[in-house]
Amino acid sequence: MKNKKLLWQLPFLTLLVVGTVLIIRQQQSMPYHHNAGMVFGTSYSITYQCDSDLHESIKAELQKVDNSLSPFNKHSVITAVNQNQEVELDRMFTEVFAKAMAISEETGGAFDITVAPLVNAWGFGFKHSTQPDQHQVDSLLRLVGYRKVTLKDGRIHKQDSRMMLDCSAIAKGYGSDVVARFLRSRDVKNFMVEIGGEIVTSGINAQRVPWKVGVIKPTEDSLSAGELHSVVNVTDIAMATSGNYRNFYYKGGKKYAHTVDPHTGYPVQHSLLSATVLAKECATADAYATSFMVLGLEKAKEILARHPELMAYLIYSNDKGENAVWCSPSLKDKVEE
């Protein structure tokens, strides 16, 4: 009786084995495509395994993000909000706004999408020849504060109509998430999406191993291609980096970093040179990386202790002026020095 049962099951087992082998062969023979271009004022590079090239559809997804969140797009939703026009808020805008507000609350306002007037005044958004004085900073601080804007009944309400929203510290990460969602919707299992250094990975690369991402060594040479500080083995995760080591200028013998503290109105000056954050979503990693550059090393570590779902690789300048690294314990086995 048992032998008859085994004979009955044998064809099904054979079919299962053959099917599995065929699927593996198909996956191995399926090509990897590479698409690249410009979006959000930066470059993108997307590699994925698929039986067809999806670049046109990917560009369409990126255009949706631009149409919603780009302050440089005259017809975007965020431009209409900044100009106090009547506009229907789309899903992308409301999704990013809600995430930004949540992370602002969690970081005590270190992350703040209303900080643009201060950033522009210091010359990082649009280059200015003179830096603001205390009076100008105090005036602009009245237009900054994430709690001064709310989303209610499908509209953005501002305490002051001159307030501006700028999602540049979260939009690239969100754009990477949007492309990743699209690829998953097309049943693409293996891919790496990178927009302006903000990355989402899934599965394996063309060499059949996990994706590897380099962390650039902090340098003050803005023309340098960037020497790798270390390599991180990442898959099925998102990663974003924020750093002061290239975007700064000297004035009066003093170095001013590109990260502006929303509380003080002045560029931050502390030992943290670079913050790389890994999270489930790239928008989350992007926002926290920016927050850590505002908060500095110790406060960043405090937030990481409260959020075990986040991992970070923080490069800072130690007491001797040398580059040093603090790394989340759960990330250490993924890092190749």
Q: What pLDDT digit, counting tens, does each position of 68-106 carry?
A: 999 999 999 999 999 999 999 999 999 999 999 999 999
- Ordered by start, the domain boundaries in the chain are 33-336
Q: What is the pLDDT of residue 29?
A: 75
pLDDT tens column, 16-63: 544 444 344 445 679 999 999 999 889 999 999 999 999 999 999 999
Amino acid identity of residue 322, one-letter, is: E
More reliable by pLDDT, 185 or 232:
185
Q: What is the pLDDT of residue 17?
A: 47
198's tokens: 């903000």
The lowest-confidence range among 123-127, 265-269, 270-274 is 123-127
CATH code of the domain made up of 33-336: 3.10.520.10
Question: Angle formed by the axes of helices 168-185 and 55-69, to 10°?
Answer: 150
Q: What is the pLDDT of residue 117?
A: 93
276's tokens: 């790389």
* C-alpha pair distances (Å), 40 with each of 63, 149, 240, 268: 9, 24, 16, 25
